[in-house]
Amino acid sequence: MKKKESPNLLRSLPSVDDILKWDELEEIPGSPRRPIVVKAIREVLAREREKIRKGERKKTLERAELVAGVKEEIAAAGRGSLRRVINGTGVVIHTNLGRARLAPQAVEKIIEAAGNYTNLEFALEPGGRGERSDHVEGLFRELVRAEAGLVVNNNAGAVLLVLNTLAEGREVIVSRGELIEIGGSFRIPEVMSKSGAVLKEVGTTNRTYIRDYARAIKLETGLLFRAHPSNYRIEGFTARASRAELVALSKEKGLPFFEDLGSGLLHPIPGLDLSGEPGVALALKQGVDVVSFSGDKLLGGPQAGIILGRKDLLDRIRKNPLARALRIDKLSLAALEATLRIYRGGEVPPVISALQISRAELEKRAGKLSRGLQSAAPGAHFKIEVAEEESTPGGGSFPGVNLPTLVVALTHPSLRPEEIAAAFRAGEPPVVGRIQDDRFFLDLRTISPEEIGEVARAFREVSQNLKKGYGQ
């Protein structure tokens, strides 16, 4: 029930013009322009009026509190919209939080490329025009034995480009069980329609055999296509044509075979049973003509769409005018090259490290975070526990695979988990956790050791806001 508002409290709020005359506002660093200050004052006053109307404010707003609110509003406006957050969800490849965390080497290369001219499309040896993909094509040859490679802005663009080049105006044969939709309403049938190719469905949702593909091949057929169902799994009474069968059929009929691998796992990850995730190197070794995958998922690099395969087909794809419209930018390319060099050096990027993290390291982080939270806000009536849970790789990778993890769980006698989560998100930097079993979880799989102190400081702010009536 809506509580009765207090007319006296509403009348006690100062006007915008009165607040603009206060000396305290002149102390704001950066000398913000008057329109920004006015907007901040109005935002703070609007929030206070809403609190009074809901009965959440019991006493007159102090001048110092109002000034602090205005300063925070101005500071928040100056920070911009796209901000760094701490990922406490446990989802390693979190699409909404920017997917894979880049390695320091990749970040350094981005900074170098951003602040300088580069040989992006300039061949230094002969001194003439070069190709963007030249910077990474040789690395893909080394790492996965690809004949040729091309990089565009993302994997949706890569799929569109391949279909348009190899099958525009012709039929593309796809199993009904692979007409997938991934995040952002990316649907294979719709992308195929935009590419100019004609969808030819075969089999059923749960069972498709190689004979279904063979019967569907006609003079109009341009391509055999296989999509990895990266964000779901069909189990039970199922059948799927094997890659070996599709390779053999494509060779027999003289048709290209294109496979969208999605997540971009180059090679199996030691210590992890991820047999359901197709590897790039294995797909090429088994004879798939063209593969595509994302750069910012299991590869651990920046957003990119990577196309690898037969040189004659890649040459055709490279000449398509759409390739220019979809081309990768220099900053992403710099990060991608740095990421591939990490693999070439026998190391792995942070995304793989997060998937491989040991129990001992999780225990170390959980203990440190639990102690940090307890000392940051003593007497705040929070219950802080370390618990065993499961986290997921995320990003449409390894559907159905759960990874054992440790979380710090927070509960409070008078706060709902949603209110605790909102308080953490309101901090600087924002901390994003997850709500499960009526508790707020901070998963140590995705919180680095360097971030633990920041999470504790954020919790101190949460506790202080609680004392001021946050969420009451």
pLDDT mean over 263-271: 84
Q: What is the pTM of this model?
A: 0.86
What the block records as the tokens of 32 is 């913000």
Q: Report the largest interatomic distance among the alpha carbons of the chain, rounded to a whole angstrom.
A: 86
Give yes or no for residue 275 having a pLDDT over 60.
no
> If pLDDT is split at 50, 70 and 90, which confidence band does 409 have?
very high
Domain boundary assignment for the chain: 7-79, 86-97+355-467, 104-348
For residue 289, which of 261, 308, 315 has the smallest C-alpha distance?
A: 308
Tell me the percentage of the chain whose pLDDT exceeds 90: 62
Q: Would you say residue 251 has pLDDT above 90? A: yes
Q: Which CATH architecture has domain 86-97+355-467?
A: Alpha-Beta Complex (3.90)
What integer best gives the mean pLDDT of the chain?
89
Instruction: Give the count of alpha carbons within 13 A of 408, CB side only.
Output: 26
pLDDT score for 1: 42
Q: Are 304 and 151 in contact (CB under 8 A)?
A: yes
Contact by Cβ (8 Å): 239, 188: no
Residue 360 pLDDT > 60: yes
Model pLDDT, residue 4: 53
Find the helix or strand (DSSP H, E) in which 106 lies.
helix 104-114
Q: What is the mean pLDDT of residues 340-351?
A: 96
Model pLDDT, residue 20: 86
pLDDT tops 90 at residue 59: no
Which residues are CB-contacts of 23 (< 8 A; sequence separation ≥ 6)?
Answer: none
* 339 HSE (CA, 13 A, CB side): 29
Residue 470 pLDDT? 45
Burial classification of residue 15, based on how many CB atoms lie within 10 Å of its CB (0-12 exposed, 13-18 middle, 19 or more buried) = exposed
Tell me the CATH architecture of domain 104-348: 3-Layer(aba) Sandwich (3.40)
The confidence score (pLDDT) of residue 397 equals 66
Q: What is the pLDDT of residue 292?
A: 97
Instruction: For 211-253, give the DSSP string.
Output: HHHHHH--TTEEEEEEE--TT----SS-B---HHHHHHHHHHH
pLDDT beyond 80 at 407: yes
- Residue 230's pLDDT band, with cuts at 50, 70 and 90, is low
Residue 128 has pLDDT above 50, yes or no: yes
Rounded Cα gap, residues 282 and 149, in angstroms: 16
pLDDT attached to residue 236: 64
pLDDT tens per residue, range 375-395: 887 777 899 999 999 998 886
Q: What is the Cα 300 distance to its own chain's centre?
A: 11
The pLDDT of residue 472? 40
Is the pLDDT assigned to residue 352 strictly greater than 60? yes
Residues 6+ apart with CB under 8 A from 212: 175, 202, 203, 241
Taking residues 164-171, what's their average pLDDT? 97
The pLDDT of residue 363 is: 97
Contact present, 369 and 408 (Cβ < 8 Å): yes
Q: Is 193's pLDDT higher than 70?
A: yes
Q: What is the pLDDT of residue 42?
A: 92
The pLDDT of residue 178 is above 70: yes
Cα separation, 53 vs 266, whole angstroms:
57
More confident residue, 160 or 37: 160
Question: What are the residues whose beta carbons fall under 8 Å from the beta carbon of 117, sequence distance 6 or more?
Answer: none
pLDDT value, residue 426: 87
pLDDT in tens, 80-109: 788 999 999 999 999 999 999 999 999 999
pLDDT at residue 27 greater than cutoff 90 = no
Q: Is pLDDT above 80 for 433?
A: yes
One-letter amino acid for residue 393 of the chain: P
d(CA 86, CA 72): 20
Spatial distance between the Cα atoms of 242 and 278, rounded to a whole number of angstroms: 12
User: What is the DSSP code (8-state) at residue 119?
Assistant: -
User: Distances from the Cα of 311 to the Cαs of 145, 165, 270, 349, in angstroms?
Assistant: 12, 14, 31, 28
Written as six digits, the tokens of 316 are: 């055709």
* pLDDT(309) > 50: yes
Cβ density class 192-208: b for 16+ within 10 Å, e for less: beebebbbbbbbeeeeb
| DSSP E strand boundaries for 20-127 | 86-87, 122-123
pLDDT of residue 147: 97
Q: Which tokens in the block code for residue 239?
A: 């059948």
Question: Do 460 and 377 touch, CB atoms closer than 8 A?
Answer: yes
Cβ(403)–Cβ(355) below 8 Å: yes
Residue 4 backbone dihedrals phi, psi, to 5 degrees? -70, 130
Provide the residue type at 172 as one letter.
V
CA distances from 300 to 94, 109, 211, 233, 385 (A): 12, 15, 37, 23, 32
